[in-house]
Amino acid sequence: MIGHFINFSWFLIIMALGYIGLMKNANKWKKKIWILIHIIALLFLMAGGLIEKAANKVVTLEWIDLFGLTRSFFTSPMPFLIIWLLPSIFKLNGNTNSNSVS
């Protein structure tokens, strides 16, 4: 139980730090994506915890590994780097109008 609390706290800290990191130099859409993907991951992890409790720990090891990998990914720097590099990957230039010619 303590481990779940520590993992949950760490996830929220990383979520907040990433948002703070995006506040100064990022577009609004980057901040929205950051919050959205972390809320989805958080809901997935919470559902997994509830299923684990309800099933009296009958959850298979594959599912436990999936939850662990999801938590590990979202507490790593990778989501931040992916969001930070999205404009470079898709060659976005700040224009929100997709019909504009550059």
Q: So what's the pLDDT on residue 39?
A: 92
Q: So what's the pLDDT on residue 98?
A: 47
Burial of 96 (0-12, 13-18, 19+ CB in 10 A): exposed
Return d(Cα 15, Cα 39) in angstroms, integer. Answer: 9
What residue spans define the domains of the chain?
2-89
Q: So what's the pLDDT on residue 92?
A: 59
Q: So what's the pLDDT on residue 94?
A: 54
Return d(Cα 51, Cα 10) in angstroms, integer. Answer: 21
Q: Which residues of the chain have pLDDT under 50?
A: 97-102
The number of C-alpha atoms within 13 Å of 99 and in the hemisphere containing its C-beta is 0
